Each structure stands twice: as structure tokens, then as C-alpha cells.
Structure 1
Amino acid sequence: MTGSPPLSARPAGRHALLVELPDAEGTAAFHAEVLRRRAAGTLPPVREIVPGARTVLLDGVPDPEALARTLTEWAVPPGGADDGDVVEIAVRYDGPDLADVAALWGVAPEEVAARHTSRTYRVAFCGFAPGFGYLTGLPPRLHVPRRSTPRTRVPAGAVALAGPYSAVYPRSTPGGWQLIGTMPDPRPLWDPTRERAALLAPGTRVRFVTADGIPAKAGA
């Protein structure tokens, strides 16, 4: 597995396998490879694929131990595949923590939007709330800590950063992430009437763009 993220795999029941990776980037790369092999028809039988922060659960596996041995022979490209759906999210960069994030990055507040929109992200996994996707793609120099005191209410559509992740809050909830902007219309993020309820499902690539006609600014 030269160049592949180191992994360990162990049965998690009679027909499930839990694959553990060293970090979020390795997990995203492994998950992307699983999806690629499933699409190509070269993945051994797996009914369900559930990624986490540093794990990928493979459920509905006829022989977990045999699959675990197979995984050691995989060559997993770093960073994940460059294919899959791309979702564009328009953002007003007007979040209450924009100036704080700018200070952490050592840039002017208006530069936060430029840096945040210059990258392509990938949904590593979902959690916390229905439709809440954890997006990888920020380099280590742009990682930021959570707020020391969480907010009791974060509005739906808030665009946020915490640690290595970006995210958009699909509904109003408490939260401790750094808020840098707002998605003007968050309704598409979670719709249980759709076949795929979460717009930002694991494996989806995401691009943030500045909302047309609405300049980025500091403050709220």
C-alpha cells in the first residue's frame, strides 16, 4: 500500500467491518476509493458504507475477515478522487466571527472570502444534525479552533469553520463553530421528501462562491 493511508480493519459484527484511518484526509481518501470501486463494479459485496471522522463502516459484508485481508492490497490515491457530484453554495461572507477568523489567518477580513472560495471541498461524513456535512479541504494553516463559548442558537444557513472542517448549518441549533458567512437560502440542504435527503451527502464535492451582488464584509 505504498502511498496509501495506513489503516486497520476489524470485524464489527457478523457482517460488518470497521476500517480505522489515521486522520480526516486519509479517511476521505479511503472513502472516495470505496465509492470509486463500487461504481466500477470491483468492490466486494457491501450493502452500506458509513464514513466517520476517522473510520469507515462497511456493513452487509458476507465475509468481513476476507475483506479485511483484501483491503491491505489496495492502493489508495491521496486526497480522494477528483470525480463525483459538485455542489456550488453561494455565501454572503458576513458572519459574526469573520474578523476573528481573519485574525487567526493573519489576513484582512475581506480576504477570508477569497481564501474560502478558492478551494474544492469534499463531504467526509455527516452527523450532529440531519443534513450537516463535515467538509474537508482546508490546509492545516487555515484550521481554526471552535469558539471557547458555544452559541445557544446558530441560524440555519450559517457557514462555519472548526478544526479541519467547513460546514453549513441546515437548521437552527446550538453550536460552537466559527461563523464566517450565510447561505441565503438553506432549504435545499435537507429535504426528507427527496430520494437523497441530504444535499451534502458523503463523497459530494463542494465549491463555495460569493453570493452575486452581495459584497463580503466583516461583522454581522
Structure 2
Amino acid sequence: MSPRFRRCGDGAVLVEVGGAAEVLALYDTLAADPPPGVTDILPAARTLLVRFEPPADRGSVESAVLNARPAPGRRAAAGEVTVPVVYDGADLTDVAGLTGMSEREVVEAHTGTLWTVAFSGFAPGFAYLVGGNPRLRVPRRTESRVRVPAGAVALAAGFSAVYPRESPGGWRLIGRTELTVWDVAADPPALLRPGARVRFVEAGRG
């Protein structure tokens, strides 16, 4: 769909597009070469918030969005992160049943695809990862857990994620990692930032 624009005060424009793939493509293009005056670009599931200051204005930002053309091989400087995982999650058996795969096949499907951080939300450092094997698309649990431990690796509705800290959660847990994905003392504090590629590897199998 063509982008739709909504004014957000005097210094931001909310860009509405068709879905996470379009958001990510637009984010990659704008973040790799930000238009003059753009100070921040915040992706979400179907929107991109673009903050700006002079010399930019709403018109120039909207023009930049409309003229954005992804360049092959060009990505925002978010890098690639390897996440080692012990696949012993409480919902691994359920995920296998829902997908019609064995538990080993679930692990192989999760590690066999390079994921991408589409956006962050829910909690600081909680990254929504897209681009995984489509067979891993499973619904959220019907009842959320009161406590999900930090480092839990989970699936829900086509996304994967690593819980950055202990919190309630309704995603299906397939494993755990000791990697710290949110550290307020780090710069930046979030390890998994929009545009980053994420490769899950089974711990002990490199």
C-alpha cells in the first residue's frame, strides 16, 4: 500500500504502511542514509515514526519517504547478532504438536533461518524478530504466564523474541539463552536493535 501520513505534533510524522516487511524496508533505507534534519526513526508493526527538526519539515520528510528506494545490499548499521540457545523450553513439545514437526525439526527450523529485528516494544529491549521459517507460526498461549525468566526464547504469531528480563508473557517458550539483550549500563542498552540480523544457534553446536 502507498504510505499514509499522520501529523504527530510539530516535530514528527507517523508513516502508515502495509505491514512489518514494508516497515523494515523503509526503516533500512532511511536509517542507512537519514534525510537532513531527521533525528530519530522508530519502527513498529505497521508504522514508522520519523522525528525531525530544522532544516527538515513535514513536507520534506514525507517527500523523503515517498522517494525512498531500497538499495540492494544496503542496511542500517545494526549488524548481526548470534544468540546461543539451549532448546529446552516449557512449550517446545506444544510447538512441535502445533506445527506437525518433531522437537528436533522445530530446533532446526528456528536455527536454520536468519531472523531480522523488525521493531521493539512491550518491554525495554524486547525485540520482535521476523523472517523465520513460516512453519514456526504458532498462536500465543491461551493463558499468559505470570513470570517468564530473562533470556527465554519464544515464538508467537510469526515472530520470535528473547525476553530481556523477567516479566509476564504469553509467548510459547522453546529455549533459553544466557546472552544479555538489555543492559542499562551499555551503549546502546538494547543488543537487538531494529534492522539487526539475528542468528540463533543451538548451544554446544556452534
TM-score by length of 2: 0.90
Q: Write the letter of the residue equivalent to 2:45.
A: A
Distance 1:138 1:153 in 2: 26
Aligned to 1:31: 27
Q: Considering only aligned residues, what root-mean-square deviation do their CA atoms show, in Å?
A: 2.2
Please point out which of 116, 119, 126 is paired with 1:122. 116
Matched, 1:99 2:93: yes
Matched, 1:153 2:142: no
TM-score by length of 1: 0.85
Distance 1:108 1:15 in 2: 51
Distance 2:11 2:63 in 1: 15
Work out whether residues 44 and 67 of structure 1, in 8 Å CA contact, stay in contact via their aligned partners in 2.
Answer: no
Distance 1:68 1:84 in 2: 24
Runs of 4 or more consecutive aligned structure 1 residues displaced over 3 Å after TM superposition: 76-84
Aligned to 2:59: 65
What do the CA deviations read for 1:45-83 (whole angstroms, capped 9, x no partner)?
A: 201111111111111243112321332222246998497
Aligned to 1:16: 12
Aligned to 1:46: 38
What do the CA deviations read for 1:82-139 (whole angstroms, capped 9, x no partner)?
A: 9741100000111111111112221111111100001111111111112111111124
Q: Write the letter of the residue equivalent to 1:192.
A: V
Distance 2:137 2:20 in 1: 13
Work out whether residues 30 and 80 of structure 1, in 8 Å CA contact, stay in contact via their aligned partners in 2.
Answer: no
* 3-state DSSP of counterpart to 1:28: helix
Structure 1 portions without partners, runs of 5+: 215-220
Aligned to 2:79: 85
Q: Write the letter of the residue equivalent to 1:149.
A: E
What do the CA deviations read for 1:127-186 (whole angstroms, capped 9, x no partner)?
A: 111211111112444311100011111111110011121100111111000101111x14
Q: Identity of counterpart residues, as a percentage?
A: 45
Distance 2:49 2:73 in 1: 19
Matched, 1:212 2:204: yes
Compared CA separation, residues 131 and 121, structure 1 to 2 (3 A): same
* 3-state DSSP of counterpart to 2:38: coil
Distance 1:104 1:14 in 2: 47
Work out whether residues 136 and 155 of structure 2, in 8 Å CA contact, stay in contact via their aligned partners in 1.
Answer: no
CA shift, 1:9, in A, is 2.1
Structure 2 portions without partners, runs of 5+: none
Compared CA separation, residues 204 and 83, structure 1 to 2 (3 A): same
* 3-state DSSP of counterpart to 1:189: coil
* 3-state DSSP of counterpart to 1:208: strand
